[in-house]
Structure 1
Amino acid sequence: MNIDKQLVSQRFGRNLATYHEQAVVQRDIADTLASSLLAASPALHIRRAMEIGIGTGFLTRHLLAACPEAEWHLNDITPEAFRWIDELGHPGAIHYHPGDAETIPYPESLDLIASASAVQWFDDIPAFLAKAHAALVPGGILAVSTFGPENFVEIRHILNRGLEYPTLETLRQWASQTGYRILHAHGWTRRLTLGTPLDVLRHIKKTGVNGTRSETWNRRTLADFHTNYNTRYADPEGNIPLSYHPIVLILQK
């Protein structure tokens, strides 16, 4: 599907503060991506690096701490994100690159490109893999997390729309075809437990991850969503699940 990048930027920009508070799964994914990177490449020496889709800095904090001497190039489609990094007070060299990571130029001769919970918004992930490959030095690392087909499966089944997520095997094939060596690749599922179907909508809004299209809700559509979600997914205690399906890849050029 074609993603409305302007809508993505607007919604994340409006919800960065609540994203930082509410995006518990994305925070845990960033932690896992950082630990997977360090485990897969313990002797990695980083001189120049880029992070794509910094958000409020869940992954950035790990990267800056692990590689304080590196020259960092940080990107986000939402310019408001950069103030979250300014508040860290990092003493090293940081360059900001606002804009759509699929279209902006990347710096050359990078030792590392990292991205947590961002590339699912891309229109062409294979093209991104090739673009990152060209920007990396030989032996450079691409560390990325995205989401698999079970992500938000409840909402997609009820509304019959949403992002299209590749499988782990498809991502591995794309990476290999691009010329990467796969150092690490795994996926898992996590289900948040929420109170009501309306809490699901509030959670999605507060984390800004509803940027695929403009949605007009009215009393009837909200009632239908509430009824369908409860009927299909509520547990015996009336709790409501929301599924996440993270995938982590550590790739070497």
Structure 2
Amino acid sequence: MNIDKQLVRQRFGRNLATYHEQAVVQRDIADTLASALLAACPAPRIRRAMEIGIGTGFLSRHLLAAYPAAEWHINDITPETFRWIDELSHNGPIHYHPGDAETIPYPEHLDLIASASAVQWFDDIPSFLAKAHAALAPGGILAVSTFGPENFVEIRRILDRGLEYPTLDTLRQWAIQANYSILHAHDWTRRLTLSSPLDVLRHIKKTGVNGTRAETWNRHTLADFHTSYRTSYADPEGNVPLSYHPIVLILQK
């Protein structure tokens, strides 16, 4: 599907503060991605690096602490995010690149490109992998987290729409086709437990991840969603799940 990038930018921009508080899964994913990256890539190798889709700095705080002397290039489609970087300590220079990471030019000869929970918004992940490969120096690292097919599966089954998520095997195939070596690749699922289907909608709104289309809710559509979600997924206490399906990849040129 073609994603409305302007809608994504607007919704993340409006919800940055609540995202930072509510996006507990994305924070944990950034922690996991950083751990996998640091195991694969020691600090002395990273002199010039780029982070794509910084959000509120969940991954950035790890990167700037691990590679403090590197020259950093920072990107996000929502420029308001850059203020979170200004609050983090760093020694090396930082260059800001606002805009859609699928279309903006990348710096050359990068030792590292990293991105947490952003590339699922891209229209063409294989083209992104090729673009990143061209920007990396020989031996450079691409460290990425995204999401798999079980992500938000409850919502997508009820509404019959949402992002199209590749499997881990598909991502591996795309990486090999783009001439990467795979240093690390794994996925897992995590289910949040929320009090009601309406809390599910509040959660995704507060984390800004409802940017695929402009949704118009009314009393009837909300009631139908609430009934379908509870009928399909509620436990005996009335709580309902929301599934996340993170994927982490560490690739080398």
The TM-score, its normalising length taken from structure 1, stands at: 0.99
Deviation at 1:105, TM superposition (A): 0.1
Aligned residues: 253
Residue in 2 that maps onto 1:154: 154
Q: Does residue 99 of structure 1 match 2:81?
A: no
User: Pairwise mapping of residues 97-176 of structure 1 onto structure 2 (< 5 A)?
Assistant: 97-176=97-176
Residue in 2 that maps onto 1:243: 243
C-alpha RMSD of matched pairs (Å)? 0.8
Q: In structure 2, what residue type is equivalent to 1:234?
A: A
Deviation at 1:92, TM superposition (A): 2.3
Distance change (3 Å), C-alpha of 1:107 and 1:154: same
SS of the aligned residue for 2:59 comes to: helix
Given that 2:33 and 2:143 are in contact with CA atoms closer than 8 Å, whether structure 1 keeps it comes out as yes
Q: Distance in 1 between matches of 2:235 and 2:185?
A: 32
Q: In structure 2, what residue type is equivalent to 1:54?
A: I
Q: Distance in 1 between matches of 2:210 and 2:44?
A: 36
Residue in 2 that maps onto 1:61: 61
Q: Distance in 1 between matches of 2:94 and 2:162?
A: 35
User: Pairwise mapping of residues 151-230 of structure 1 onto structure 2 (< 5 A)?
Assistant: 151-230=151-230
Q: In structure 2, what residue type is equivalent to 1:215?
A: E
Q: Identity, % of aligned pairs?
A: 87
Residue in 1 that maps onto 2:74: 74
Deviation at 1:44, TM superposition (A): 5.7
Instruction: Encode CA deviations 1:74-131: one digit per residue, 9 max, x unaligned.
Output: 0000010001111224342000000000000000000000000000000000000000
Deviation at 1:43, TM superposition (A): 6.3
Q: Distance in 1 between matches of 2:118 and 2:78?
A: 12
Deviation at 1:235, TM superposition (A): 1.1
Deviation at 1:42, TM superposition (A): 3.6
Deviation at 1:237, TM superposition (A): 1.6
Instruction: Encode CA deviations 1:173-204: one digit per residue, 9 max, x unaligned.
Output: 00001000000000000000000000000000
Runs of 4 or more, structure 1, over 6 Å off, are: none
Given that 2:65 and 2:90 are in contact with CA atoms closer than 8 Å, whether structure 1 keeps it comes out as no
Name stretches of at least 5 consecutive residues in structure 1 with no aligned partner: none
Q: Distance in 2 between matches of 1:232 and 1:239?
A: 11
Residue in 2 that maps onto 1:10: 10
Q: Does residue 22 of structure 1 match 2:6?
A: no
Deviation at 1:249, TM superposition (A): 0.1
Deviation at 1:38, TM superposition (A): 1.0
Instruction: Encode CA deviations 1:198-225: one digit per residue, 9 max, x unaligned.
Output: 0000000000000000000000000000
Deviation at 1:40, TM superposition (A): 2.2
Q: Distance in 2 between matches of 1:236 and 1:175?
A: 43
The TM-score, its normalising length taken from structure 2, stands at: 0.99
Q: Distance in 2 between matches of 1:235 and 1:189?
A: 19
Q: Does residue 51 of structure 1 match 2:51?
A: yes
Deviation at 1:238, TM superposition (A): 1.2
Given that 2:43 and 2:67 are in contact with CA atoms closer than 8 Å, whether structure 1 keeps it comes out as no
Structure 1 window deviating more from structure 2 (81-90 vs 6-15): it is: 81-90
